[in-house]
Amino acid sequence: MITRTVPDIVVGRLPRYLQALEHMYREGIKTTSSQELGEAIGISAAQIRKDLSQFGEFGKQGTGYSVAFLVEQLQSILKLTRIWDLALVGMGDLGNALARYQGFAEHGFRITAAFDNDPEKIGKEVAGLIIQDSREMKRIIPSLGIKIAMLTVPASVAQMVAEELVDAGIRAILNYAPISLNLPDDIHVENIDPIIKLQHMTYYLD
């Protein structure tokens, strides 16, 4: 049996399935179908079944899927059955909002270290975290085994700071700076940029 590598576009949809399923779980819904799940998130039922079939058989004909079981399976596929430590770099307005956001902890992501290079900010506490000097990243990040960073520094320094993060052993970066980072191929970068999203939407407006 050959283990075909799963397309990234499929992997990218799994968290959306998981989000909807966890919502159903909280609502007390025990069972769902590809049809119902698809309607909830605007994806065709066939697509969902095809995507899931990449990883195994999780449903029962005539019945559909057990919500709790499918949540478990998706968490396992996405490696969410452990706690992931995060580094947060750049404690300005956005960094502070992220530090206080409860959603990360609720989903097994723990912000374990916060960094800035502003002497005024270093040493201050935010949401139970002491802001540390970003010159210490290379020492602290490996010592805590952190593999994922959220980058909320100004665009002008984002590339440089990203390189420092990679140097410190970071393997994945969630980049909020409005610039595309140029990093080695084995570093996973995802971008969050509201301007890009707004510009996408204006195309369709008058």
Ligand X SMILES: NC(=O)c1ccc[n+]([C@@H]2O[C@H](COP(=O)([O-])OP(=O)(O)OC[C@H]3O[C@@H](n4cnc5c(N)ncnc54)[C@H](O)[C@@H]3O)[C@@H](O)[C@H]2O)c1
Partner DNA sequence: CATTTTTTGTGCGTATTTTCACAGAAAAAA
Partner DNA sequence: TTTTTTCTGTGAAAATACGCACAAAAAATG
Residues near DNA (CB under 7 A) are 7-10, 33-35, 44-47, 49-50, 52-53, 57-65
Q: What minimum distance in Å lies between the beta carbon of 53 and DNA?
A: 3
Which is closer to ligand X, CB of 119 or CB of 184?
119
Among 6, 29, 83, 97, binds ligand X (CB under 6 A): 97
For 61: left if phi > 0, alpha if psi spans -120 to 50, otherwise beta; the answer is beta
CB atoms within 10 A of CB 161: 24
Picking from 146, 180, 191, 143, the residue whose alpha carbon sits closest to that of residue 165 is 146
In single-letter form, the type of residue at position 156 comes to S
For 75: left if phi > 0, alpha if psi spans -120 to 50, otherwise beta; the answer is alpha
Binding site for a copy of itself (CB under 8 A): 11-12, 14-16, 18-20, 23, 40-42, 77-80, 84, 86, 93-94, 96-98, 100-101, 103-104, 107, 109, 147-148, 150, 171-172, 174, 178-180, 182, 188, 190, 192-206
Q: Tell whether residue 150 is among the known ligand binding residues.
A: no
